[in-house]
Structure 1
Amino acid sequence: MKTRCIALLSTFAFAACVHAGEPRTDSYVENERDIAVEQPGPHEGTGTTTAYPFFDDAEGFETIFRKRALHPGASIGAHLNDKDEIYYILSGEGELMLDGETRAVGPGDAILTRDGSRHALYQRGSEDLVIFIVYRKRPATPTPTPTP
């Protein structure tokens, strides 16, 4: 089966793969209230966040599409990226550290962090910093077959 990948950037970033030939019959809708997970700040960040891992269990779907709310005092800790990744700020105020430079970010800002880039994101202000995060899943590492 051939796969054709397309990317669309609108009010948020989204990438999807469309299978040519057979129509898919496993499309569905998820609501954030059903998948919300309270977590500490990722990458050893501070505070509390709420993650909304949309379509994490979708078979054959190669895109991570996540909403995350960084509650007051929360952060995504500084880390070296091992993939290209997009953050899109929906609401709130934040401070982005990207490759040693710091700047304020807010609603409407889209951030591209490349493989090898170092970054962190800090919630600032009194309201949650709410973002979409989009990146391509890494292929599963095959389990080595033992030799007799």
Structure 2
Amino acid sequence: MSQKKASFIFTLMFIIPYICAVSIIGVAYNVLVAHASSPWRILVGTVVGTTMLYFLKIPLERPLRILGKYTFRFNRRVIRLFMLDEAKSWKKYANILIDAAFSLFGILAVGYLSRGQSGYDFISSTLIGWIVVVLFASLCISSYFEFDALAIK
């Protein structure tokens, strides 16, 4: 596999879903909490978003580990940073801090961009809310089962 193809797959498999997950966290938080002016509510939303982003990475570890062999040096280092299976405690804490920063950014950015009822109408008037529930439920269930059990040997 060429390095360009591996980098493209890495972008599709990890970068875009990660950005979408941050956006979903921001939209869901701003829909569920009508008053985001309280730092306490923003902190709770950040903790919930951080937890979701942390568990989002678990099912992607094995494909990213395989993909990391074929990609550029920078992508390989980014992939190694997000590998949590055999990580040391400092790496896990660094991942939690990175996820918290992105969750907070998503909450504040979506809150700033969608003032008023636009975010609430977008989620509650369409199927996007159910899609969000299915997305996170499927990620939680798939991370519960070992990804190795699903691999073809």
After TM superposition, the score normalised by the length of structure 2 is 0.21
| RCO comparison, higher one (Cα < 8 Å, 6+) | 2
Higher helix share: 2
Higher strand share: 1
After TM superposition, the score normalised by the length of structure 1 is 0.22
